[in-house]
Amino acid sequence: MTDTPIPQNLVRRTPWPEGVSRPLGSPIQPSVVFVSDSPDQLDDQYGGAVDGYTYSREGHPNADVLARKIDALEGAPEAGGGGLIVGSGMAAVSAVLLGLLKAGDHVVGGSQLYGRSLRLMREDLPRFGVGASLADPTDATTFAEALRPETKLILVELVSNPILRVADIDGIAALARERGILLAVDATFSTPRAFHPFAHGADIVIHSVTKLLAGHSDVTLGYVATRDAAHRKAIYDFAVTTGLTPSPFDCWLAERGLMTFHLRYDRAEANAKALADHLAGLPGIKRTVYPLRPDHPDQNRAVGILGERGGNMVSFELEGGRNAANALVRAMPGIAFAPTLGDIGTTLSHPASTSHRGMTAEQRSANGISEGFFRISVGVEDIDLLKRDFTQGVAATLGIRD
């Protein structure tokens, strides 16, 4: 019996097979490091003389493939250098604010931002010496009143989370341009399907890719694009230094989800319009909020900015407060009660106990968020099924009082 030689080089990397064909799907590249030929070549890479990857915290192929796709959707200016993918939507918000602002600066944010964005402005920025104020995004004059000589940036959501107010984006953009202040727009709810912030004067565009763009509640990612390459570099440097790195696998999944984005968005949007009208006619509903409905306080602005693109988000308020809220959720087991949005299926969220639980009851009330207030991320299910589910759920709340 002949002894078979034992390989001695198993830990040495095997060259990747090459051929005349190429994969149809984007490969996943999980490698943390990339090999260079020499120190001189590495210098050339870092200096920008040649393209290449070095260490995945500084960038990797799957993030770049995803970023270029969203750049195309968003119409990101070429002068900005292309968008960046980071580890979450809040990583994108944080990288913008902390990458561009320094101690002594001041930022004005919309008073109806996502709960964690509000916390960042109220509690975290002041710890770093950055002042923060809030203003009503539906009224540009309130932003003018909130500005200070040291104000460097304005942050707004075009459609606010969760009460779906529509920002006076053109008025705010004109103010920012006149005063030489950067305007950052979180367009997660509207998405590039409904609105392009750069075309309306934004300097920075933010998305939580986790939501509608990826669309399946299986990735956590954020996106930032800038008009100016210098701003991109400042945001990039902060993100790399603080480790806001996206997972290659999440980027690969998000790219896959993005391929059906237009189809998913259009179907969910049509469902949302129909469901909003249905909810408005049910007994036990105090108010229904959808940007294109005639009873929405910003309906004229919404139509002017969004056209027929009202989005997939609907909010409503029940009579009966928290007790009614509990009854509604229990009566609709087919609707996922989950603090997320943008999934292919419909999800129901209760902001007072999830996204905005960090606010006081008084702060929530000032923003129109009561214990009976819900936010629906409408999915692509059959609309008759959705109407039946919500009719059943609301019926279970009738007669309930706190």
Active site residues: 57, 114, 186, 211
- The Cα 31–Cα 240 span in angstroms is 17
